[in-house]
Amino acid sequence: MNDTGSSAMEPRNLSAARSWLAQDPDPETRDELTALIASSDDPEAQAELEDRFGTRLAFGTAGLRGELGAGTNRMNRVLVAQAAAGLAAYLAENGSDDETPSVVVGYDGRRNSQRFALDSAEIFAGAGLHAILLPRMLPTPVLAFAVRYFNASAGVMVTASHNPPNDNGYKVYLGGDDQGSQIVPPADGEIARHIDRVATGGDITRIPRHLGYVRAGDDVVEAYIAATAAVAPAPESAAGMQWVYTAMHGVGWETTSRVVSAAGFPAPTVVSEQIDPDPAFPTVSFPNPEEPGAMDLAFETARSSNAEFVLANDPDADRLAVAVPDGAADGGWRRLSGNEVGLLLGWRAARRAAESREEQGTPTTTDVSLACSLVSSPGLEVIADHYGLDFFATLTGFKWISRAPGMAFGFEEALGYLVNPETVRDKDGISAAIAMLGLAADARGRGTTISGLLAEFEQTFGYFASDQISIRVEDLSVIDTIMTLLRKDQPDRFGTVKVKRVDDLLTGIDDLPPGNVLRFWLKGGSRIIVRPSGTEPKLKLYLDVRGSSAADAAERLAALTAGAREVLDSLS
């Protein structure tokens, strides 16, 4: 058994595993790695070592995100220490000579989140930075808010959002001119190079640490609550409103409940099994409101409490799901798509911008804009045109959406909404929930419902329908192969619908930065967009149609979805 000394014949990555073990401060990951090294003659152990050390978890525009465990391809204390030291070096290099860079650190309720946050704060303080640790586990939007509240140079949020239970992540925000938005190129690449230099330098135990970080008081949370409650103060019609809320075993409830109370809305009936933080996520197989079955307990609670609608946050509360009765005799419920919610909130923002313009007597042309990711519904552009607002379609992710000039509202179809850009420059599931409560209460005052608002939207702007196809893979090379084949031999039709034009965003187009995205424009105004997921091992296809009626849009979408699946089958 090759468990002493290195040799030319020892299994691949064994030397890297030993070096890692020598610096790992975590007893749990040390134990798992020690067992692997001791079993390194076993082919299964060798495969596991290759998976853990054959590559490195990449730091990019989403920071770091991956499975917990020992190794360069896992989330752990060694990798977090390297990331914190690399970010500290970047901030010191790019800061002004007369001001000490500052970093605010937040964390959610996932496994190791608090430990990773403490490590980061100690390393930032050890590097001579002003480090501020949020007072307890809190939602991601509070961290994004805190970057601006403290006028910090940067922020770090330890979270894996809605990923599987054994994942964690490290999301980075920048202050100053970036206004608390997530990092984008070239900052991500520069930070990654600093991290690589730290990793190449060897033992993390030599990274300076200091306990001189500051623990923030509750004033930052109170300020977030006040600003978010102001998004939609409750009207009189909210009295008696019955609704259900679930935190999906995450950290959303404490903050959300205080915002709801401050805004004057009635408290919801909560899904008690999911209301408290629990890193095991015991009632869901996947803690994402988009996943089948994730909201079943919320629907049961809604039926038993005679609720009018359901609101759900994901575990770090930066996303929002909305569900309504489906009108069936059996008391069924359906979750609205991210596009449906985004269009309702976009319509709300556009009306408010128009009302403000009328009050101020400003011209119809304005620099106020609506923005969404290019894979989100084209209906938002129709809203913007209707109200004389600017419109921007960006690459996927709020790191791009949040930077749209003059933005009053931004969204992406993956349940992300930015309704209060003066407060948070990132998606915020809590402020979006307050905005939806306001819409629901206003509709209630007019004798209608959220479903009624959707019908009003269609009568005003037309009938839009969207679908998504996701292909989850074990081997990421499968995604690369499909994208290569689609570029090499572009389909001329999807089913019976002909392709009119193809945009390959790999080299950049329409003033968008380069991205691994293919956009197929189809006859009749339909479109299909294909891209790899930025946070999960998935290939995603986004399908959008516009019809003359709801039935026509649904029929067009069904045909387009079938045609897209045929193309995918031909590539496998």
DSSP structure string for 530-552 = EEE-SSSSEEEEEEEEEESSHHH
**Alpha-carbon span 472 to 310, nearest angstrom:** 28
The 416-418 sheet, strands edge to edge: 390-394, 369-373, 407-412, 416-418
Active site residue 261: no
- How many residues are listed for the chain in this entry? 572
**Alpha-carbon span 355 to 316, nearest angstrom:** 33
**557 in Cβ contact with 545 (< 8 Å):** yes
The helix (run of H) or strand (run of E) holding residue 258 is helix 252-263
For residue 480, give every residue at least 6 positions away whose Cβ sits within 8 Å of its Cβ, in sequence order, or none.
none
**400 in Cβ contact with 416 (< 8 Å):** no
Please name every residue paired with 554 in a beta bridge, in sequence order, or none if there are none. Answer: none
The 320-325 sheet, strands edge to edge: 269-270, 243-246, 309-313, 320-325, 333-335
For residue 329, give every residue at least 6 positions away whose Cβ sits within 8 Å of its Cβ, in sequence order, or none.
none
Listed residue (479, 489, 518, 523) closest to 502, CA to CA: 518
The helix (run of H) or strand (run of E) holding residue 16 is helix 14-23
Q: Which conformational region is residue 369 in: left (phi greater than 0), alpha (psi within -120 to 50 degrees), or beta?
A: beta
**Alpha-carbon span 228 to 253, nearest angstrom:** 14
**Alpha-carbon span 285 to 280, nearest angstrom:** 10
118 DSSP 8-state letter: H
Q: Give the ranges where 365-448 is alpha helix by DSSP (H).
A: 379-386, 398-401, 429-445
DSSP structure string for 127-148 = TT-EEEE-SS---HHHHHHHHH
The helix (run of H) or strand (run of E) holding residue 519 is strand 518-522
**Alpha-carbon span 497 to 563, nearest angstrom:** 8
CA dihedral 350, 356, 358, 364 (to 10 degrees): -50
**Alpha-carbon span 152 to 106, nearest angstrom:** 13
3-state secondary structure of 375: coil
Burial of 343 (0-12, 13-18, 19+ CB in 10 A): buried
Omega of the bond prior to 186 within 30 degrees of 0, cis?
yes
Tell me which of 40, 102, 120, 161 is the catalytic residue.
161
Residues serving a catalytic function are 161
